[in-house]
Amino acid sequence: MADDDLKARLLAVRTPPPPPEPVTVVERTEVTPRLLRLRLEGDVLHRLEVPQVAMSVRLVVPWPDEDELVIPEWQGNEFLRADGSRPALRTFTPLDHDADAGRLTLEIVRHGGGAVSAWAERARPGDRAALSGCSAGYDVPDAATQLLVFGDETAIPAVRQILAAASTSVDLDVHLEVVAPEARLDLPVTWHVTPEGATPGVELAAVVESLDALPDGTYVWAAGEASAMQRIRNHVYKTLGVDRDRAAVRGYWKPARTDTTG
């Protein structure tokens, strides 16, 4: 079958994600000069299920030059607005979900250039957005005796969940990369500071590439800028020959384009 045919068939059977539904900002906190925490409320959050760590939700916000939120609909392959235009829809890690209260927290990197980053900067209690979720996350494997974790700023929310979920018998070796010293949080991790303008993820990839074997019982979780994650995948899967079920490596964003899942 031609590649295009196969692609068309796969797209035709793609299961629609849950539709985005309204949520309201109830609290906005500056966690660091690089991270904003938004607490959201909405009926959809009573029904949301967040059974794993490092899951993801889609957040829809107004574009920077718009005042009104327009909620998109699933058009067979992607969410589009009624006029066919693309929504400002990005992926974030659901935190501190409280189904009874209908509440959820998101932590958004202040990278200074994107639709959601800019919206979060100016968001105030009462502002509206829409949310759809959740997509699959991660379970720390029962067989893990050691977990190696690598992430950039966008992965800090997920990494905090992984740290909290891992059993105390698991030896955790966690590396987080930030663009400025003041972006560091009080966490039991090794911080790497790679200034803005440098290749993102370069120090994380270098740490992984310095590994010459993964002992039995050692698992890897990594998330961050897509090229750095590809370097990590290459080393872990190809150079070290590790089985894919022992390493979960996810590209969370790409320079000069929007997030990797849409």
- Which residues form the interface with ligand FAD (CB under 6 A)? 56, 90-93, 107-109, 111, 113-117, 153-154, 157, 252-261
Q: Taking the complex as a whole, how short is the minimal distance between the CB of residue 256 and ligand FAD, in angstroms?
A: 4
Nearest CB to ligand FAD, comparing residues 124 and 216: 124
What is the 8-class DSSP label of residue 104? E
Q: Taking the complex as a whole, how short is the minimal distance between the CB of residue 189 and ligand FAD, in angstroms?
A: 16
Nearest CB to ligand FAD, comparing residues 42 and 200: 200
Nearest CB to ligand FAD, comparing residues 52 and 261: 261
**Nearest Cα to 51, choosing from 222, 159, 165, 149?**
165
Bridge partner list, 178 = 193
Question: For tokens 């961050």, what's the residue?
Answer: 224
Q: Taking the complex as a whole, how short is the minimal distance between the CB of residue 169 and ligand FAD, in angstroms?
A: 27
DSSP string, 114-163: SHHHHHHHH--TT-EEEEEEEE--B---TT-SEEEEEE-GGGHHHHHHHH
**C-alpha dist (Å) from residue 88 to 20, 49, 171, 260:** 12, 23, 39, 13
DSSP string, 192-238: EE--BTBPTTHHHHHHHHT-----TTEEEEEEEEHHHHHHHHIIIII
Q: Taking the complex as a whole, how short is the minimal distance between the CB of residue 215 and ligand FAD, in angstroms?
A: 28
Q: Taking the complex as a whole, how short is the minimal distance between the CB of residue 74 and ligand FAD, in angstroms?
A: 18
Nearest CB to ligand FAD, comparing residues 29 and 145: 29
Nearest CB to ligand FAD, comparing residues 191 and 211: 191
* Chain residue whose CB lies nearest ligand FAD: 114
